[in-house]
Structure 1
């Protein structure tokens, strides 16, 4: 039996508050630009006009360390063009002292395989690397904690890059959420031997799950159980949604489920089966579903086809129409055929489309086979 907490929360009021960047607490802000910073950025081929337009306040700070930061990035293997891209996107980096940058480099290298990969991460997620020195202890403690879970280093690096707030906050908050996830997994019948892999996949696909209150997960699982999902089905949903179950709330799910059941004309039991095939139905707003149902029905697809292949609702109307048009050119009528050919990623569709092309172009007879002569 699930030991789920029934705490009532207004999830619409929950917001993840980003921790403020404060790389130089004693820096001064002048009405005039820091000419040394401007000249250094010019020398580094940084688009100054773009910096002025988007984050001009950085150019007014003293002290700043544009040359020093660029030098450290060069030592890590970053090219001049990469450094210019980093500084135009995140010019706040020049407010980090060399000591801060070196401390961050050493911290990240404890989980990064090499400096080349670290440079790639900094280029994609500069704000995650150039953070306040006041967060350093929390970052180190969180790295130690996730390493104690025997998580893959690449997973830890991805968490640090894509959800830096989770590493800047006290480690106890992450411990609480991870414990809640592990507890839910075990209570829903998940096998202990598979829990590490399950947790890695979940955190990899939705790093922001760590930033949600544990009560949200418990409340949503309780709601779904009350809707008739068994413990095994709840585990499947928790695994398929990859942590997105924490993005939901009972009110929105109630509205979506009611709309879906009414539109599909199915029973509650049938709806549960459809949800297990297409968990995305739980978090699509009613207006998005209405648009997608309208597009499918307008293309001649009937409701029984949608019920058979509900994953078609994960695709936008534009993508569906494009694929239908492309298939029609090769003689495939989605109104009478399976919708599976429409489903999946772009790569999946191209493979299915290619098979149809081969089938149409394949000759009906073998041109090299000898013809039968008259007896």
Structure 2
């Protein structure tokens, strides 16, 4: 019996230790559900069964502040439907102390004063808003730092929402990474007058860039320079890769480039040109590239067509298969025509397909048919 009790207590301690620090400090774990929390969630039309299945431990915590969370969101303009959806997706919100929530509200309104827009952000990124109070100082300092860079408030808001880790850590770490990006931009020939716009676009496209190391960026740029890319081409790649060049490493890029070169049968110069048009070749591993090349070749598409429109390799095999089938239904020979009609986003494909459909359905002119003229 003593052994069973000891084991039970150990498991419970492990479970508590796995919880976020701010939730462990101000709440305790019970073996039974907090009936007040359950009832208040029901009253708010929250899917309690979903909460039980995915994050049932929340229902065992005490105290909880379900009504306070609801009132805060309602005061910001959130509808009952939105409140219930936020709490179903992120029930941990009910464990945040009201003072923490109010502090977060004031903090976020520095960069997003429109409360309706803020509710929309919370709906998409609830975990970024309902966060630990011990991070408030770092968040405030990081907001001030990015404001000092004259970044657009919407960009800062997006960073806080989609990459909250970069705001909860010391501001000095972000300063080092931003400085590394700026130095790389200028060394590659970027104009200082355009640097703010470039940085804003980069951070907007890939907020997680801030969590990387300037040393990783330097190593990747040196590798690509050794492969023959000019400074201007490297700057182009940095911009077109949306910061993903920082998430790569020389070994993976070396393998992907070697596979592509051998498969296409091109020179180093031709390979660089393909990469400039389709930077995805740098970060797709060999197995994914092999799958995509093989699908295109089996469909009757030539290697010269792929070289002419290499961005088709950015599409998954499922998307390519679907589009090829639709084009064949309209009598389009993908092995003989341009791959541009196969390429691009879903919207672009539908537009190209629509034009193709009109062209194939146009009535054939009959030279011996009588002309219809108005009386």
Give the stretch that moved more between structures: 50-59 or 84-93: 50-59
Structure 1 alignment gaps of length 5 or more: 1-18
TM-score (norm 2): 0.91
Correspondences of 1:152-231 after superposition (within 5 Å): 152-231=152-231
Shift of 1:371: 5.0
Cα root mean square deviation, aligned: 1.8
The answer to whether the 8 A contact 1:44-1:84 is kept is: yes
1:242 aligns to what? 242
Correspondences of 1:289-328 after superposition (within 5 Å): 289-328=289-328
2:344 aligns to what? 344
Correspondences of 1:1-375 after superposition (within 5 Å): 20=20, 22-23=22-23, 25-365=25-365
TM-score (norm 1): 0.91
Instruction: Give the 3-state SS of the residue equivalent to 1:22 in structure 2.
Output: helix
Shift of 1:329: 2.1
Shift of 1:331: 2.3
Q: 2:60 & 2:138 partners in 1: Cα distance?
A: 30
Higher helix share: 2
Instruction: Give the 3-state SS of the residue equivalent to 1:25 in structure 2.
Output: helix
Shift of 1:362: 3.0
Q: 2:155 & 2:100 partners in 1: Cα distance?
A: 24
Shift of 1:348: 0.6
Give the stretch that moved more between structures: 320-329 or 334-343: 320-329
The answer to whether the 8 A contact 1:155-1:200 is kept is: yes
Shift of 1:366: 10
2:11 aligns to what? none
Shift of 1:118: 0.6
Q: 2:351 & 2:345 partners in 1: Cα distance?
A: 10
Q: 2:357 & 2:166 partners in 1: Cα distance?
A: 48
Shift of 1:21: 5.3
Structure 2 alignment gaps of length 5 or more: 1-18
Q: 2:184 & 2:21 partners in 1: Cα distance?
A: 34
Shift of 1:29: 1.6
After superposition, the Cα gap between the structure-2 partners of 1:23 and 1:152, relative to the gap in structure 1 and judged at 3 Å, is: farther
Q: 1:350 & 1:273 partners in 2: Cα distance?
A: 28
The answer to whether the 8 A contact 1:24-1:96 is kept is: no
